[in-house]
Copies of this chain bind each other. A is one copy, B any other.
Amino acid sequence: MALGNRKGTNAKLRSAAFKRVRADHSAELAGDYVEMIADLIDDHGEARCTDIAMRLGVANATVVKTLKRLTDQGLVTQEPYRAIFLTGEGWKLAEDGKRKHQIVEQFLLALGVPADTAKIDAEGIEHHVSADTLKAMAKFVSRNPFHSR
């Protein structure tokens, strides 16, 4: 019953894949927020709602609501009408996310994708890259120093 077995295995793998995608998407917004907040703090000394809203391309109120969730999740701290800070956990998540994002974007560049496109595609792809794939991408980058065209 090798064939039946393969079928069963495939079925499980298939639904596992979709479950992973849904889990990735659940984590995605939090990852993008903390990464952006970390960048804003590094670049400007502080992170404000308006900047986040502008960079994400969403309304201010949307950012406020999301930050409340992130605060509940222990990633962010804030006081009314003040700038936003990251907790220890928030910083860690931001660092991990930045590293992954970096590798994915460098990888796309090394593959020969135009710079603007690489930036855009990396923003979505980064959240679906497993440890194995990230390792393979990093290896490729180190073996293929970036050459334009």
Give chain A's interface residues, CB within 8 Å of chain B.
11, 13-21, 24-25, 32, 54-58, 108, 111-114, 116-125, 127-130, 132-133, 136-137, 139-140
Query: Which among B54, B125, B136 is the interface contact of A11 at CB below 8 angstroms?
Result: B54
In the complex, what distance in Å separates the CA atom of A15 from the CA atom of B63?
Answer: 14
Q: How far is the CA of A12 from the CA of B45 in the complex (A)?
A: 21
Give the distance in Å from the alpha carbon of A29 to the alpha carbon of B61 in the complex. Answer: 27
CB neighbours of A11 from chain B (8 A): 54-55
Complex Cα gap A57–B129 (Å): 20
Give the nearest-CB partner of A126 in chain B: B128
A20 touches B124 (CB 8 A): yes
B120 touching A16 by the CB < 8 A rule? yes
